[in-house]
A = this chain, B = another copy of it.
Amino acid sequence: MATIEDVARAAGVSVSTVSYALSGKRPISVATRERIQRAVRELDYRPHAGARALASSRTDVLALVAPLRVDVNVPVILQFVAGVVTRARTHHKDVLLLTNDDPSSLDRVVAGSMVDAVVVMDIETDDPRLPELRAMKQPAVLIGLPGDPGPLSCVDLDFAAVGRTAVQHLLAAGRRRIGLVGPTPVVRARHTSFADRLLHGYADALAEAGLEPLETAAEGTRRGGITAVAELLERHPDLDAVVVHNEGALPGVIEALREGGHDDRALLAVGPADVVAALPVDCDWIEIPAARIGELAVDMVVDRLEDGRGPEVRLLPPTLARHRVTP
């Protein structure tokens, strides 16, 4: 492998000139820059990442702490990850993938200066990793919103607003007995941030209207959806609408509603675009822009890195639309 010294020699300049020409951190005459670029090309020179990291204490690598669990909806995870990775590339950063099942990894990676910054997915309301994240020298962005973010940046869809918007929309449409089919029981039990927040928004909006919440969890399968609706109907036979925040359960919910004779205004789905687009019925819909949130997370963390900006919390406002089946 060619080193910076090889390039310097070939171009007839000093190593520092090569370094500066490559980083653009000081002006270089056109002539020498071109000689250097030629040498780089001819020798197929690539800077040694370790050497650069050692000298500059920057690695141009982000850590992505992601759960590869099956209890959260898998395609959604992958959309977040895809958003993070593609956006990282536009900022000339690579992504080191850490899965949650090994808590010591983050420590090692962060303390060993392997990464410049950290993006953390699957945040719980009272997340056990928060102390560690706060103590790091590298900036972190959470995808989600813990109870107390402190000096950590956060970005997510405003799930409380999602819950409120959904209820208000259905109330305006004349529905009164509005159920909620939430994520799987495991996710609920973990107090995954988004589940908690949506539930609160939903319950608050109902309370304001003097109505009681009708909530249930569902496994992320067709059968889970059917069961959940059956359960809701049993407890509340006058159910006249349902908000579904569970991608996998949607098909089952739809079947159950149809069999129960409910119309296509009784369902309000919360989910990513592709999932909802595939639904076989018209319905109201609030998008979870997963890839976009992943991209934003990277933008935010890179901003902090480059502009030394402080932490911020960004909650994307939900938008409600109507999904129509394309025949």
- Taking beta carbons and an 8 Å cutoff, which residues of A are in contact with B? 1, 44, 46-54, 59, 61, 64, 68, 70, 74-75, 77-78, 81-82, 85-86, 89, 94-99, 101-102, 105, 107-109, 111-114, 137, 221-223, 251, 274, 278, 280
Contacts and interface: CB of A to CB of B under 8 A. Distances in A.
Contacts of A50: 49-54, 59, 113-114
Contacts of A94: 96-98, 105, 109, 114
Closest 7 CB pairs of A and B: A50-B53, A46-B111, A50-B54, A68-B82, A49-B112, A97-B97, A49-B114
Contacts of A61: 96, 114
Contacts of A52: 50
Contact of A74 (B48, B68, B74, B278): B74
Given A78-B77, A99-B86, A48 B1 contact: no
A204 B101 CA distance: 43
Contacts of A98: 85, 94
Contact of A221 (B78, B89, B278): B278
Number of copies: 2
A111 B47 CA distance: 8
A247 B150 CA distance: 43
14 contacts: A1-B137, A46-B112, A50-B52, A50-B53, A50-B114, A61-B114, A68-B81, A77-B78, A81-B97, A86-B99, A86-B102, A89-B105, A94-B96, A96-B96
A113 B68 contact: no
Given A49-B114, A64-B97, A86-B99, 20 more contacts: A1-B137, A44-B111, A46-B111, A49-B113, A50-B54, A50-B114, A61-B96, A68-B81, A70-B75, A75-B75, A81-B97, A82-B99, A85-B98, A85-B99, A89-B99, A94-B97, A94-B109, A96-B96, A221-B278, A222-B251
A85 B100 CA distance: 11
